[in-house]
Structure 1
Amino acid sequence: MPSEMTTASSAVMALDKALSDKWDNHRAQPKAEAQRAHV
């Protein structure tokens, strides 16, 4: 039981990290575009 919960929580954490990395990339792209446009 505890090992199952650990596996599940680590899977959720990995998924959460992947999603937040994805969103960080989405947020960073327009910022880079804006900086390029200003220069």
Structure 2
Amino acid sequence: MGLLYIICLPNTVSSETINNAFAGAQVLHTNNRSKL
């Protein structure tokens, strides 16, 4: 369920949606780091 899963998704999912998901994950990761 990682990067490979996203790469293997059918083309019905737009690259914009994937980019938004990556951006959201990055924000969550940064937020979790700042709490430590």
TM-score (norm 2): 0.61
Larger Rg: 1
Give the paired residue count: 23
Please state which structure has a larger fraction of its residues in helix. 1
Q: What fraction of aligned residue pairs are identical, expressed as a percent?
A: 13
After TM superposition, where is structure 1 displaced by more than 4 Å over at least 4 residues in a row?
none
Aligned-residue RMSD, C-alpha? 0.4
Superposition TM-score, scaled by structure 1 size: 0.57
- Report the counterpart of residue 7 of structure 1 in structure 2: 20
